[in-house]
Structure 1
Amino acid sequence: MRLWSREIWRIVWLAILGISLGWLLGYPWLGLAGGLLFCLVYHLRQLRALYQWLTLHPHDEPPAAKGMWGELFDRLYRYQKSQRITQNRLRATLARIQESSEAMRDSVVMLDRHGDLEWWNSAATDMLGLQTAHDRGQHITNLLRDPRFISYFNAREYGEPLTLTSPIDERRILQYQITLYGDDERLVMARDITRLHRLEQMRRDFVANVSHELRTPLTVLSGYLETYGDLKELLPPRLGKGIGQMEEQTKRMQNLVNDLLLLSRLEIDRGGEDHQPLAVGPMLESIRRDALALSHQQHSVQIILDCEARLVGSEQELRSAISNLAFNAVRYTPAGSQITLRWAAMPNGSACIEVDDDGEGIDPVHIPRLTERFYRVDKGRSTATGGTGLGLAIVKHVLLRHDALLQVESLPGEGALFRCVFPPARVVNDA
């Protein structure tokens, strides 16, 4: 502010000096014009020096000047210097990021807000076949043309990864994960999970084969035990009791084998061939009768139909999933408990099947792991009830095959609610 005032006073003094000289020569206004012209020429020269410095020699020292122009040159120079330091720091950071990305075994692809390719590391070239000379600026879906990837990309819901084969090598299995950042830009990461996929396939094949091979000896064993069971009266009491326990454990092993085989089939077979619109009410009524038979009429099981729509899916698979939920409600609630099977509409055209009970409830710490195989909240009680520990895993896989979601709400002492949420595409309204 002081420099600005000083510059104004300098102009005023030049004007006074010009008027004074012009007065002596008899032309005061001409003297004023000359003083102001001198001031204008001075500022034009400084402006010209500023322009030449910024356009021709921006990295050199600023031109020498006094007053306001000297301060302006110095401030611009300091600002340029700080900007160069910041730019160099950003360039170094970007270079380190690119170097670290190049060192990664996973593919890293940066997309702009339109989905066009901006940058990728060498692993992306190896896994996805991206070529720097041809593909930069191309839209990602022009190069990764699998319909499942296009749907995943356009859905903008990237909570879960997507597993597909490599576009250049069908023997490689890749897992894609997209992250939104910045101004609606996206980061696509692809990881080679071929080895994990093969190990998982080996595990599924092993479980399926072992389970299949166990069925025959278990059937033979069960048959002989059933025969011996019919002769309990002729056997010593201790031997009869042992045969009864053997029958129970054999039946439990048969249930376990059947559940393992069902899980293997659900994992291997994509399904969908037998999907058709189903009337949910009759299916729930059949499940209710089975649940009452399992509880020996010691529970109250009711059905509430709040929705008249039909559900598109496999009746066999859906019956298996909902039956598992209903049978769990019978097994893990005391006699006299109330169990409710409900078919209800939800917002946005979706619908749900709920299995609700007023039993002991589940501690929320266990809920995230309930669908894991053989996971038990109370191992001693679960074994006593005859469960295999695979029921909720079967429910999870059946719902995945029906594009559905399992929600669990429970607190200790407040019962448990298991909700199977089906998307609008699976709900058919006849009206």
Structure 2
Amino acid sequence: MTMYEPYPVPELAREHKRFRYSSLWTFAKQDLRLLAFLLLVATCIGLGVGYFWASIFIAFLIFFGFQLRSLYMVNEWISNRPYDTPPNLNGIWGALLFNVYRAQRQERIVQAEMVGLIDRAQSSLVALNEAVVLIDDLHQIEWCNPAAENLLGIRVFDRGHNILSILRQPKFIEYFNHIDQAPDGIKIKSSIFDDHYVQIKLTRFGEQSRLLVAYDVTRVHNLEQMRKDFVDNISHELRTPLTVLSGYIETFTDQEDLNPRWKRAFDQMQSQTKRMNALVNDLLLLSNLENNKTIAKNQIIEMPSLMNQLFDDAQAYNADYGHTLNLDIDSHCDLIGSDTEIASAFSNLITNAIKYTPKGGIITIGWHDDGVHGYFTVQDNGIGIDPKHLPRLTERFYRVDSARSRATGGTGLGLAIVKHVLMQHGAYLDVISKENEGSIFKAVFPKERLYQMM
């Protein structure tokens, strides 16, 4: 029988079971009865032999001798045989032994349950196809399951080694030291198998301990790469024929003697060709953003100049809509990033607000900061967006109202482009909207992206 298995109820426990809910006085009476018996015998003997007080003294000595013997047996059991059945004692010491043994037995039952739970949890982790690694406060490996060897090359005898001495990829080391910058984890190339990719997610627990979970994403990576290659290739292939079509349509449209019936058809063809060109350009831009093309993200963008340029472009675009445009700049901070990408993202937010606000609306473009974050905002008083659509707004080709999007010539990629631009600048898009009350699109930049002249 192991120390974690439940012990049978000992004889002593059965004998004292009836005292479980009794008061201490019930147990003390056994000692008092013994003391009274000894004093009675001592009194009779003392009065008979003429040494009354000496007999009483001897009776107390005998009583304390019994108590010292019980104390010795209790100490012997606790010190040398704590897992054996306790000695059978009466009185106060018997009650003490019973309560200690009962508490000890309950503790062993709880321990056994905890060990069983840990064993089941460990067995479950061992059976997983995903790699699971426990890392202590010193960055050393505490435990790993068999899948960790297949996916990450971490073996059982690597326990006690620093995780960074085994997974040495610079991308992983950067992620390990700055977990919060990649809340969804990172994807790295496998060091075990060629052309394999592993998604790694770290979670903090305790003080500085970490739980690492990794799984093979090779198939998903390959499918995603196929999709990107297809979009990139088809977009390039469409550009040339669209350019040719657009040129011929424009040539025919400019002829003065063109039949009005044909002119209307050519005008529609030209409109749809422009829309397809816009779609192709957005697809190529999105493809470049997703493929992480090396575009410098460390330029200092003068925000007053950019905001005024965007405002002028917005006024030109607004000519057919008749909105009231406002510009609100109350920040002295500039932005660090790619000027072309940032301008493209901000322009998308502005043109969206203009296109999807009924004529005669009010649109305010702003740049603000609170010392911790920088905020580019576009606010309108249009028809707003149902909250159920907000989580999916940045998905490519997702439309709140398909008919309305087609009428305005939207490609369905604008907010997807905005999302990728912001992600590459450590920023995110926050949307606040209520139906029939308008919307606020807010690009939130971290403090590290703000630049202020001293």
Please say whether Structure 1 and Structure 2 have the same fold, judged by a TM-score greater than 0.5: yes
1:261 to 255, 263, 284: 284
How much has 1:288 moved relative to structure 2? 1.5
Deviation, structure 1 residue 54:
4.1
8 A contact 2:28–2:92 mirrored in 1: no
Structure 1 length as normaliser, TM-score? 0.90
2:119 & 2:333 partners in 1: Cα distance?
Answer: 58
State TM-score, norm by structure 2.
0.86
Contact 1:406 1:418 in 2 (8 A): yes
- What is the CA distance between 1:10 and its match in structure 2? 4.2
Cross-structure match for 1:215: 239
Counterpart code for 1:244? D
1:99 pairs with one of 123, 136, 139: 123
SS at match of 1:201: helix
Residue type of the partner of 1:426?
R
Which residue does the alignment assign to 2:10?
A: none
**Structure 2 CA distance, aligned partners of 1:139 and 1:262?**
41
Matches within 5 A, 1:30-429: 30-112=54-136, 115-136=139-160, 138-155=161-178, 157=180, 159-169=183-193, 171-181=195-205, 185-231=209-255, 233-273=256-296, 275-296=298-319, 298-348=322-372, 350-429=373-452
What is the rounded CA distance, in whole Å, between the counterparts of 1:342 and 1:63 in structure 2? 83
Q: CA distance change for structure 1 residues 46 and 144 in 2, over 3 Å: closer, same or farther? A: farther
The alignment-based identity, stated in percent, is 42
Give the superposition deviation at 1:335. 1.6
Deviation at 1:248, TM superposition (A): 0.7
Structure 1 position 71, deviation (Å) = 3.4
| Contact 1:304/1:341, CA 8 A, preserved across alignment | yes
Question: Secondary structure of the residue that 2:342 maps to in structure 1?
Answer: helix
CA distance in 2 between counterparts of 1:134 and 1:178 reads 19
What is the deviation of 1:209? 0.7
Q: Letter of the aligned partner of 1:302 in structure 2?
A: N
Which whole-Å CA distance do the structure 1 matches of 2:55 and 2:173 have between them?
Answer: 78
Give yes or no for contact 2:140–2:163 (8 Å, CA) kept in 1. yes
Deviation at 1:129, TM superposition (A): 2.1
Q: Relative to 1, partners in 2 of residues 1:156 and 1:43: Cα closer, same or farther, differing over 3 Å? A: farther
Shift of 1:16: 3.4
CA RMSD of aligned residues (A): 2.6
Q: Tell me, in whole angstroms, the C-alpha distance in 1 between the residues paired with 2:170 and 2:265.
A: 59
Count residues in correspondence: 428
Paired amino acid for 1:68: I
Cα pair 2:427 2:444 within 8 Å, conserved: yes
Structure 1 stretch displaced more, 89-98 or 376-385:
89-98
The structural deviation recorded for 1:402 is 1.0
Partner-residue secondary structure (3-state), 2:85: coil
Deviation digits for residues 32-58 of structure 1, max 9, x if unmatched?
443333233323333333344445444
In 1, Cα distance between equivalents of 2:363 and 2:261: 39
Contact 1:339 1:358 in 2 (8 A): yes
Question: Gaps spanning 5+ residues in structure 1: where?
Answer: none
Q: Are the counterparts in 1 of residues 140 and 159 from structure 2 also a CA contact under 8 Å?
A: no
How many Å separate the matches in 1 of 2:356 and 2:164? 49
Give, in whole Å, the separation in 2 of the partners of 1:63 and 1:177.
Answer: 55
Please give the alpha-carbon distance, in whole angstroms, between the structure 1 residues aligned to 2:376 and 2:59: 93
1:8–1:386 Cα change, 3 Å: same
